[in-house]
Amino acid sequence: MATSTREVALTRLMRLYEKEVLKVCCLYLQDLSLAEDAAQETFFKAFRAMDRFRGESSEKTWLMRIAINTCKDIRRGAWFRHTDRSVSLDKLPQPATPPKADSILITLEVMRLPAREREAVLLRYYQNMTLAEVAQVLGISTTAVTKRLKKAHAHLSPVLKGGEGND
């Protein structure tokens, strides 16, 4: 693929999926600055790999796989493990419309799930991917995705039913 054609393709991918890639990275890394870096790295990797994209999955599935692998690489890094990434609440930007309390509680509980379950939930429910797409992104069978989602549901059930959660 010629460079100008690749640049046009990259621009199209970024326009279509920039927010979704950033959202997954943000949820996965729980840090906006790191998520922005990961999203940028995702599109850079996609640009370099465009010639090898065979179309065996959707572009979205392909990008989500790159994004998750990029986030995993960042989380494995020494800097990530040894840095205090906590931010005081007064430094966080205010959302345009305040989220509902139950939405915040569910999101917090999702982020407490084991990594395998959390990834499945984020892709299935936050990215609205099909079971087959989630399976492709994670490199597992749809049966494994279903099992992870069932486990996640079991962990989240008290919160979803209005209880206190699993503390």
pLDDT digits (tens, 9 = 90+) for 31-76: 888 899 999 999 999 999 988 888 888 899 999 999 999 998 888 8
Token digits for 159?
Answer: 């919160």
Return the pLDDT at 16. 94
Cα(148)–Cα(143) distance, rounded to whole angstroms?
9
Residue with tokens 């305040």: 98
CATH 1.10.1740.10 for domain 1-82, yes or no, is: yes
Alpha-carbon distance of 18 to 13, in angstroms, equals 7
pLDDT greater than 50 at residue 87: no
The contacts of residue 70 (CB under 8 Å, 6+ apart) are 25, 38, 41, 42, 45
Q: Where in the chain is the domain with CATH 1.10.1740.10?
A: 1-82
Percentage of the chain surpassing pLDDT 90?
Answer: 35
Helix ranges (DSSP H) in the chain: 3-29, 32-49, 59-76, 78-81, 101-112, 115-121, 131-138, 142-160
pLDDT at 164 over 60: no
Q: State the architecture of 98-167 in CATH terms.
A: Orthogonal Bundle (1.10)
**Taking the complete model, does pTM exceed 0.75, yes or no?**
no
Distance CA 161, CA 167 (A): 15
Tokens encoding 2: 């010629």
Question: Can you tell me the distance from the alpha carbon of 57 to that of 155, in angstroms, rounded to the nearest whole number?
Answer: 30
pLDDT confidence of residue 99: 57
